[in-house]
Amino acid sequence: MKKISVIAAVVLAAIMASCGNGTPKANLKNDVDTLSYAFGMSQTQGLKEYLVQREGVDTTYINEFIKGLNEGANAGDDKKKTAYYAGLRIGQMISQQWVKGINYEVFGEDSTQTISLNNLLAGFVAGTLGKGGLMSVEEATTTRENMMQSIKAKQMEKLYGDNKKACQEFMEKIAKKDGVKSLGDGIYYEILTEGNGEIPADTSRVKVNYEGKLINDSIFDSSYQRGEPTTFRCNQVIKGWKTALTHMPVGSTWMVYIPQEQAYAGAEAGKIKPFSCLIFKIELIDIEK
């Protein structure tokens, strides 16, 4: 190991000595020179793909990458430059990853909305320096979570408010339908097959067949289509399902009407858009022991 470390140190010294502000020129006078060059060349395998896919580099500006590479390699253990380069890397991560990620999480596909980069940086700098902040780091963490949920909810309301209105109108009609009964919490059901078996507890593992529809009659999920029942615990599904299952005797088949508040509310789940009412045909086959 000691011999390898010595060789590595010599290679590093040779590489750094050859690096300037321009493109270094190879000068292979001995074995160490050749090893140095071969090491550098071999490390570029897949580099361009990495720069494009992971670092977001436009290879049109590859010469700027080379310039930065030379400066970074020649910085050595200069603590001032090390701190500066770390700031560059984190700053680019903020603009290329944080901002884009937060925007997508909060605003979805609405590209006209964005968080404030200036205020993000102001908070980041204050937190880094440990002074001049408008709130503590702990307060900021709580505020971040609360505000993200609040702003996201308003955004979803703006984009999918019509779904909420349609759901409310649909549930009002269902409540007046003959043969429909209430389970509470805005959930309604009608009995297609009357069962007389055991009623599951919320911790019970049940075996069911089901078909899920939206109020436009489009099917978004169906165990019938998959050709086999499914099993899960009653407390591992949406609230509307849990409520229905913990009132159903084994052997029953119900049509269950679930308001958006007892389904996914403002969240999106595959084919289910925010604020969607859900209609399920649920066949409770058995409770697994």
Q: What is the pLDDT of residue 8?
A: 45
Structure confidence by residue, pLDDT tens digits, 91-114: 988 988 899 999 888 888 788 889
The structural domains of the chain, ordered by start, are 2-117 (no CATH), 164-288 (3.10.50.40)
Q: What is the pLDDT of residue 152?
A: 83
Q: What is the pTM of this model?
A: 0.62
* Planar angle of CA 222, 241, 255, nearest 5 degrees: 65
The H or E element that residue 197 is part of is: none
Question: Residue 52: which residues within 8 A CB-CB, separation 6 or more?
Answer: 58, 59
Q: How confident is the model at residue 22 (pLDDT cuts 50, 70, 90)?
A: low
CA separation for the pair 200, 248 (Å, rounded): 7
Q: How many CB atoms lie within 10 A of CB 142?
A: 11
Q: How confident is the model at residue 12 (pLDDT cuts 50, 70, 90)?
A: very low
The two tokens of residue 161 are 């408010």
Q: How confident is the model at residue 32 (pLDDT cuts 50, 70, 90)?
A: confident
Structure confidence by residue, pLDDT tens digits, 174-207: 999 999 999 999 999 999 999 999 999 999 999 9
CA separation for the pair 211, 200 (Å, rounded): 20
Task: Give the whole-number percent of the chain exceeding pLDDT 90.
Answer: 48
| Cβ–Cβ < 8 Å for 256, 280 | yes
3-state secondary structure of 210: strand
3-state secondary structure of 126: helix
Torsion of CA 131, 134, 139, 143, to 10 degrees: -140
Q: What is the pLDDT of residue 185?
A: 94
Q: What is the pLDDT of the chain when averaged over all its residues?
A: 87
Nearest to 76 by CA among 161, 142, 17: 17
Question: Residue 161: which residues within 8 A CB-CB, separation 6 or more?
Answer: 275
Backbone angles phi, psi at 247, to 5 degrees: -125, -5
Q: How confident is the model at residue 16 (pLDDT cuts 50, 70, 90)?
A: very low
More confident residue, 142 or 9: 142
| Burial state string for 167-187 with b = 16 or more CB within 10 A and e = fewer than 16 | beebbeebeeeeeeeebeebb
pLDDT at 15 over 60: no
More confident residue, 154 or 21: 154
